[in-house]
Chain A
């Protein structure tokens, strides 16, 4: 018993040290390896201390999963990382739910029945929710189905009812001391699966970083509570660790999008915010959530309409070579559009080409650029960009005013000055990359439609901003050709 506690502390300390090493990109790889080693140790130790005739088959099943996991881990592309994490998350959640389910028939807990029934119920509902929510998120991210957010009538109410009913069933099951455990548990699992479906179905693409972080947290919480149910110290502690990590990231992502978690889960439907009047971005009175899915039809070209007198002064395509060749300090702002166009290699080459001309090139990474926290960093690291050049919003924002040129590739909302300039829009108050402060800006976006928030981008109209519409994988190589 004492040894059990010591080992649990040792293994969790191994995980914590591994995460500590992840605080720096120089040591992060070893941090991950320490984590993996601690995990292997925990699994081996569990095997060694577990006897019985079924041990061999347990080893077989773990090996099967290990091989499948390694094949999956080896075969996914970096651009598929969000859906990979979602899928694995779902597996973790499902495993925790199944562990408590399998533990029920053999449970011999005397005296701690209250703890057992309440924790199994909670682990089951959270695990089931993590599973169905993650699988839907994975399907969306992979582009298999549900490309537009799906909302059913009474969506939010059904979601709340599912949670409340699950809690009620857990309490009832507790009150009856598990007499009707089988139907109760089945009901809890179904309600959990339903809640996960409802959460993920209505989520739009740009909210994915928040939802993935949240589901990540849930998978940890499910593991931790399952640990309480089966009295496993390591499981309880490690699950808590993952739960906390997910919550930290969820909070960071919400802050970076200027949204509350409740708003993401039940309120705002993307694309419902449309430009209705001459002043782009100011439509404060418009209620959220009346239509589903991005709808760009009403958005005319803001640049053409409101700034006609300035068009003569705006730089045109002919000015591109001059801008690219004279700039000394260049900041590149990548967004999810770069990932969609698979233009990260071209963008990496653009940076290298500029550097070869003696220019100083940096990247500005917004926390929610992409589909999961830090997504852009991974893509650019894959494209061979040194991590020292990847700067987050706090580091890079003071530097925009010193930049000669900013190149925006596939990013919209995160550089939209409307976040600071206009009140009452979905992005008002959202921290943005202050690209407009640079001497000149080149925007390489697919089209002039507003981003996920539906708010017209005020940046496009500015006099020192040159816009090129088109697929980044075609536009960026053209820019490279202009550098001489």
Chain B
């Protein structure tokens, strides 16, 4: 399991670097809030720990569960709301395209 884990970690970082670098500045805020939601992935670690930990440690894991879930659901939902507002050209404002050079 360990080699697989390190391979996945490194591969994710490299692929992530290539893909994330190409996200335009226009979308950097939604990118960041989306990434923020992804960091809530720690919720799955919390589930595993919660269900296996001895009773004493369970309350710590419970807090982790709640916080990570807020991170995941809050993060994805604000990103959804934000991206819904990004609208392309369809407003008929009458603006003219002029040559700029």
Contact = CB atoms under 8 A, between A and B. Distances in A.
A467 B4 CA distance: 61
Interface residues of A, number: 131
B64 A249 contact: no
B98 A232 contact: no
A227 B45 contact: yes
Given A61-B65, A69-B77, A233-B8, A242 B38 contact: yes
A390 B61 CA distance: 44
A84 B32 CA distance: 11
Contact of A102 (B41, B60, B72): B60
Nearest to B68: A95
Nearest to A95: B68
A248 B47 contact: no
Interface string A209-231: 00011001001101110111011
A329 B78 contact: no
Interface stretch (A7-15, A159-167, A412-420): A7-15
B94 to A, nearest CB: 5
Nearest to B11: A237
A20 interface: yes
Interface stretch (A29-37, A199-207, A317-325, A334-342): A29-37
Interface string B50-84: 11111011101111111111111111111111111
B48 A65 contact: no
Interface residues of B, number: 93
B83 A219 contact: no
B80 A32 contact: yes
B44 A46 contact: yes
Main secondary structure of the interface of B (DSSP, over half): helix
The secondary structure that dominates the A interface is: helix
A386 B67 contact: no
A426 interface: no
Given A58-B51, A69-B75, A228-B5, A91 B41 contact: no
Contacts of B96: 358-360
Interface of A: 1, 4-5, 8-9, 12, 15-16, 18-20, 22-26, 28-29, 31-33, 35-36, 39, 42-43, 46-47, 50-52, 54-55, 57-58, 61-70, 72-74, 76, 78, 81, 84-85, 88-89, 91-96, 98-99, 101-106, 112, 115, 212-213, 216, 219-220, 222-224, 226-228, 230-246, 248-249, 252, 328-329, 352, 354-356, 358-361, 365, 367, 372-375, 377-378, 381-382, 384, 386-388, 390, 392, 398-399, 402
